[in-house]
């Protein structure tokens, strides 16, 4: 793949920020959108805009075909066994909340355990806190190694026959560590537990096979993988989804409604109450086509090389601390520059046209584990190059000079 050529398909990247060509290094928060995705959504609104599943007119039929076609693309992209195992949601957060509110609360009781890690984004932490409080289950954490990685020995020691649910991120949005979720799933199943994988930071960047991972649930967001905001998916094994009750009620998800009782549609529509995110699903389908044309293996190789290059360049800056492992990491770098506040670092970088994220990254417990209040984060995607890393490095050196007193 040629990242410089791919960049031309992203109109937003062709601009200057504060007099400098934009270097966008915040794709872990949200990716930019390529022309094929923008055109697919524009075509829907201009030619096929209608509600799905409800009408027999031509526009409704075309909209339904496009919407359900997107579901088929997601199922193939994840290698799901059945199309009905794909539930459209607003994103990773909604998908995880659905599992925590429906499945976990139905199987957990006092004395049971829910196991997660300190790496988790708040979206894969707070729902389990609430599920534990509602059911009386105990929330347990798999300990981390000093570099933010997970040892399988610690997984074995934490998950027990009392564990009903395990939830773990595939890729940390702070430490960049790629967790051994396939092995964690095997340990969970050995103990009779089910596992949910937070795929927000993995799905855009590597090939995902839910059957090979043998995860019970898998959640991801479209906006981090070239699709629009407001669309995401929950994959769940069919036999588990069929046991789950909906948590949102209304139109579209019903079969028969009486004055005092109602029944639900079959999978997947029982979990998609109301008018769905039609244009978002179509945009997600177009994004999947775009990524598959490039090749997920190619994208992963490109980002792995770029992350290694960035790790080495940034680690060479005196006074800059990089978090997470050197090897086996995804395409992001989280760092602090001396005692300069990350927001100040990000402000100076923005003045140089370099966009990075600063803050706790929705991982406050992990920040406390790192013994920092916040960090800066540069995250890469298929449109980034080594030249972007060089611009980041030069801007950090300028930041260091500007705040020279901050380097101890």
Of 169, 194, 174, 142, the C-alpha closest to 28 is 174
Tokens encoding 183: 């092995």
The verdict on whether 233 is a catalytic residue reads: no
**Which H helix or E strand runs over 294?**
helix 278-294
Q: Are 202 and 170 in contact (CB under 8 A)?
A: yes
**Which H helix or E strand runs over 114?**
strand 113-116
User: Residue written as tokens 């967001």?
Assistant: 221
**What three-state secondary structure class fits 118?**
coil
**DSSP character string of 354-399:** EE-EEE-TT-HHHHHHHT-S-EEEEE--TT--HHHHHHHHHHHHHH
Catalytic residue among 226, 233, 362, 363: 362
Separation CA 403–CA 317 (nearest Å): 14
Separation CA 46–CA 28 (nearest Å): 31
Tokens encoding 63: 């909209």
Other C-beta atoms within 10 Å of 185: how many? 22
Apex 91 CA angle, 297 and 107, nearest 5? 105
CA distance to 72, 291, 400, per residue, from 41 (Å) = 17, 17, 43
Separation CA 159–CA 190 (nearest Å): 10
Active centre residues (catalytic): 362
């Amino acid at each position: 793949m040629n990242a410089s050529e791919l960049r031309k398909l992203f109109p937003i990247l062709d601009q200057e920020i504060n007099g400098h060509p934009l270097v966008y290094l915040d794709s872990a928060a949200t990716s930019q959108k390529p022309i094929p995705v923008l055109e697919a959504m524009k075509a829907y609104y201009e030619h096929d805009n209608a509600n799905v599943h409800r009408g027999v007119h031509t526009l409704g039929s075309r909209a339904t075909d496009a919407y359900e076609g997107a579901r088929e693309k997601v199922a193939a992209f994840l290698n799901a066994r059945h199309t009905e195992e794909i539930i459209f949601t607003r994103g990773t957060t909604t998908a995880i909340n659905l599992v925590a509110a429906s499945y976990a609360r139905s199987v957990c009781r006092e004395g049971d355990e829910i196991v997660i890690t300190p790496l988790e984004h708040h979206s894969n932490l707070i729902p389990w806190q609430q599920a534990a409080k509602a059911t009386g289950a105990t929330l347990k954490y798999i300990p981390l190694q000093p570099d933010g990685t997970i040892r399988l020995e610690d997984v074995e020691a934490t998950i027990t026959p009392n564990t009903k649910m395990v939830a773990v991120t595939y890729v940390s949005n702070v430490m960049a560590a790629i967790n051994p979720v396939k092995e964690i799933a095997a340990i969970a199943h050995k103990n009779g537990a089910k596992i949910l994988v937070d795929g927000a930071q993995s799905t855009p960047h590597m090939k995902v096979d839910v059957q090979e991972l043998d995860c019970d649930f898998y959640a991801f967001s479209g906006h981090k993988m070239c699709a629009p905001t407001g669309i995401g998916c929950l994959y769940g094994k069919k036999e588990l989804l069929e046991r789950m009750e909906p948590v949102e009620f209304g139109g579209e998800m019903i079969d028969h409604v009486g004055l005092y009782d109602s029944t639900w549609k079959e999978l997947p529509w029982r979990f998609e109450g109301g008018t769905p995110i039609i244009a978002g699903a179509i945009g997600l389908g177009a994004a999947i086509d775009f990524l598959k044309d490039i090749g997920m293996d190619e994208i992963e190789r490109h980002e792995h090389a770029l992350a290694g290059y960035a790790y080495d360049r940034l680690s060479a800056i005196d006074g800059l601390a990089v978090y997470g492992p050197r090897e086996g990491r995804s395409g992001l770098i989280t760092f602090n520059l001396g005692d300069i506040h990350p927001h100040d670092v990000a402000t100076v970088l923005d003045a140089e046209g370099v966009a990075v994220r600063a803050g706790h990254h929705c991982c406050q417990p992990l920040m406390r584990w790192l013994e920092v209040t916040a960090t800066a984060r540069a995250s890469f995607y298929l449109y980034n190059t080594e030249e972007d890393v060089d611009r980041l490095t030069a801007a950090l050196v300028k930041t260091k000079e500007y705040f020279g007193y901050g380097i101890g």
